């Protein structure tokens, strides 16, 4: 089994739903990882803002994030530009991914590549 976990929820909404989506995304990645399955995590859209939030040791999802940190492929470069999250991604040590040259952006991750490599794409 191969899974790509895409986190798109917005921490700025400060809603329980947004935190719940993050938690469930990280928990799914943790489950795949512990089963020995191949898993990768990407932050896209407003979800790119989570990178800066998760650098905070006091965040309720910090320990879970730390447990799957080695499975994080990175943050969408174009989305980080739009949502002001590039600095947070850098502070957290996450790579900005720009392999899909979408017009008028600095590039995004390629979900088509992941799909062609057999990854099930799960969005949160």
Mark residue 56 as left, alpha or beta (left: phi above 0; alpha: psi -120 to 50; beta: remaining). Answer: beta
Q: pLDDT confidence of 95, banded at 50, 70, 90?
A: very high
Q: Which one, of 25, 45, 32, lies nearest residue 123 by Cα?
A: 25
Percent of the chain with pLDDT over 70: 100
| Mean pLDDT, residues 117-121 | 98
Per the structure, the count of domains in the chain is 1
pTM: 0.94
- Confirm if 44 and 108 have CB atoms less than 8 A apart: yes
Is pLDDT at 14 greater than 90 in this prediction? no
Q: What is the pLDDT of residues 24-59, one digit of tens each?
A: 999 999 999 999 999 999 999 999 999 999 989 999
Residue 67 has pLDDT above 90, yes or no: yes
Range of the domain at 93: 2-123
Specify the CATH number for the domain of residue 17: 3.40.1260
Could you tell me the pLDDT band of residue 7, with boundaries at 50, 70 and 90?
A: very high
Flag whether pLDDT at 101 surpasses 90: yes
Whether 46 and 75 have beta carbons less than 8 Å apart is answered as: no
Question: Would the CA dihedral through 70, 17, 12, 108 be positive or negative?
Answer: positive
Q: What is the dihedral of CA 12, 66, 114, 108, to 10 degrees?
A: 40
Using CA atoms, how far apart are residues 41 and 103, in angstroms rounded to an integer? 24
């Amino acid at each position: 089994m191969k899974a790509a976990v895409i986190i798109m929820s917005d921490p700025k909404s400060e809603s329980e739903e947004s935190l719940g989506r993050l938690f469930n995304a990280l928990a799914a990645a943790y489950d795949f990882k512990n089963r020995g399955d191949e898993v990768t995590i990407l932050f896209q859209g407003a979800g790119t803002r989570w990178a800066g939030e998760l650098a905070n040791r006091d965040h309720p999802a910090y320990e879970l994030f730390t447990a799957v940190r080695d499975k994080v492929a990175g943050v969408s470069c174009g989305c980080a530009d739009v949502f002001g999250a590039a600095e947070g991604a850098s502070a957290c040590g996450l790579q900005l991914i720009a392999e899909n040259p979408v017009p008028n952006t600095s590039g995004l991750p390629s979900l088509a590549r992941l799909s062609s490599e057999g990854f099930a794409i799960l969005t949160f």
